[in-house]
Amino acid sequence: MKKGCLLPCTGLVALGFAAHAHAAGFYLQEQSVRGTGRAYSGEAADQGVASLWWNPAAIARSGREAYVGAHGIIIDSQLTDAGSTVTYPGGTTLPAGGAPRAFKPIPPGVVPNLAIATPVGDRFAVGVSANSPYSFTSKYERRAFTRYDALTSSLRTADIQLTGAMKVTDWLDLGAGASAEHVSARLSNATPNLSPLLPDALQTLSGKGWDWGWSVGAQAHFDRLTLGASYRSRIKHRLDGRIAVSGLLGPLAGSNFAVDGAAAFTTPWIATLGARYALTDQLTLNGQVQRIGWSKFDAIRVSLPAGGQVLRQDYKSTTTGAIGLDYAVSPVLTLRTGAQYDPTPTPDIGRTARVPDGDRWLIGAGATAEVAQGMKLDAAFAYIHFKDTRIDHTQAFYAGTPAATTVHSVGDLQGAGYVLSLGMRAAF
């Protein structure tokens, strides 16, 4: 058999960029400790470097400031086989077999972020921030029922943004940012041989690349009300790397290969509207709505020397909503809390074990304490409740050849997530 017939197997390039514990799809919203504490309910309208990810105008009047934060993420989830099958050449359909349950397939992880900004004259400010907006790791046992859909997924991103902001009037601030975003990925899944009595083959992909994006934003400051709006562009990514298939036996043995290849995909754009209203001198109410353009993640386009393939994803754009409050207990201590609803962009039919995603509610609580002159310690905790959901993904291996084999992966997912965040802000 020729190598080109294996191209449908490279469904592993569908990238499973899931962030089951963080935000719907594969977006990580843990970009501010202060934001975690109020469930990301007012970031576009808040000031300071901790809000740079949501609005580049946030530094226009915040002074010289630095921020560093880290978010520990723990997932307690379980994926249970709900009738996964393999249909071999000739039409024989058998259970996929293997371990029927996958416990805690997403290991604990840490998401870091940092930023620094300084005024330039009376009306301008510049800043630099570093974030990891799309980073994820999942691992399944080699004999898990999900093995043909996913074994391991490792995604790492680093987004470096240079920001400029301007205080246009006494009440209006504008900002713009340019981002360089690096992506690296390592993915694997099993491949069926032509008999259930034969061991599985293995396919792997690794790749990396730099690409570019931008953001713009504005803030309007009134007596007790601040409004914020921002737009973060999509980024078209191309990952250049290596694709390999090994362990094919019998008539398929000649199709084992390792070649250079590439995968192209697009991250979503994000439009944000936020508001903060000082109800009293101590109590501030927060609200935020985001429209996330997940429809841009419509397909993965794979390129190999033997040909190419378009792997449909068909994500749908979503709208998130959050409310929260900040309460200044004293000049040196502020408490906060909030709630957010975040629907999944993944389709009900076609959801994979790489993206075991569902609608979720996030409840956050946090505090800020001034520990020294000009230094503030932020701490937060968030609980994420996931709606029970199902993976339902059909994948064709060796399609269009006498060896055509179809895998239907079906599983039920339950789980919850916990986020522990610590950060420090310093004015200097």
Mean pLDDT of 23-52: 92
pLDDT at position 23 is 61
pLDDT at position 347 is 84
Over the chain, what is the mean pLDDT?
Answer: 91
Mean pLDDT of 173-198: 95
pLDDT at position 18 is 35
Which tens digits make up the pLDDT trace of 249-266?
Answer: 999 999 999 999 998 989
Residue owning tokens 């179809």: 406
CA distance 310 to 14: 10
Which tens digits make up the pLDDT trace of 173-183?
Answer: 999 999 999 99
- For the record, the structure tokens of 216 come out as 């713009």
> What are residue 124's phi and psi, to 5 degrees?
-120, 160
**Architecture of the CATH domain 3-427:** Beta Barrel (2.40)
Mean pLDDT of 1-18: 38
Which tens digits make up the pLDDT trace of 355-373?
Answer: 778 899 999 999 999 999 9
pLDDT above 70 covers a percentage of the chain that reads 94
DSSP letters along 182-224, please?
EEEEEEEEEE--SSTTSPPEEEEEEEEEEEEEEEEEEEEE-SS
pLDDT at position 346 is 86
Mean pLDDT of 169-191: 95
Mean pLDDT of 388-402: 91
Q: Give yes or no for residue 13 having a pLDDT over 50.
A: no
Q: Where are the domains of the chain?
A: 3-427
Instruction: Give the pLDDT band (50/70/90) at residue 11.
Output: very low
Q: Give yes or no for residue 19 having a pLDDT over 50.
A: no
- Locate the DSSP E strands across 222-317: 225-232, 235-246, 257-267, 270-278, 283-292, 299-304, 307-312
Q: Give the lowest-confidence range in 162-166, 387-391, 418-422.
A: 387-391
CA distance 426 to 428: 6
Mean pLDDT of 9-23: 41
pLDDT at position 219 is 98
CA distance 311 to 288: 34
Instruction: Give the pLDDT band (50/70/90) at residue 10.
Output: very low
pLDDT at position 36 is 97
- For the record, the structure tokens of 184 come out as 């690296």
- For the record, the structure tokens of 332 come out as 């040196």
Answer whether 213's CB lies under 8 Å from 237's CB: no
Q: Give yes or no for residue 226 having a pLDDT over 50.
A: yes
Q: Give the lowest-confidence range in 10-19, 124-133, 313-322.
A: 10-19
Give the number of other CB atoms < 10 A from CB of residue 411. Answer: 28
More confident residue, 135 or 147: 147
CA distance 108 to 85: 30
Mean pLDDT of 330-343: 97
Instruction: Give the pLDDT band (50/70/90) at residue 134.
Output: confident
CA distance 244 to 188: 9
Q: Give the lowest-confidence range in 7-21, 129-143, 203-217, 229-243.
A: 7-21
Mean pLDDT of 115-140: 94
Mean pLDDT is highest, among 135-139, 301-305, 394-398, for 394-398
pLDDT at position 138 is 83
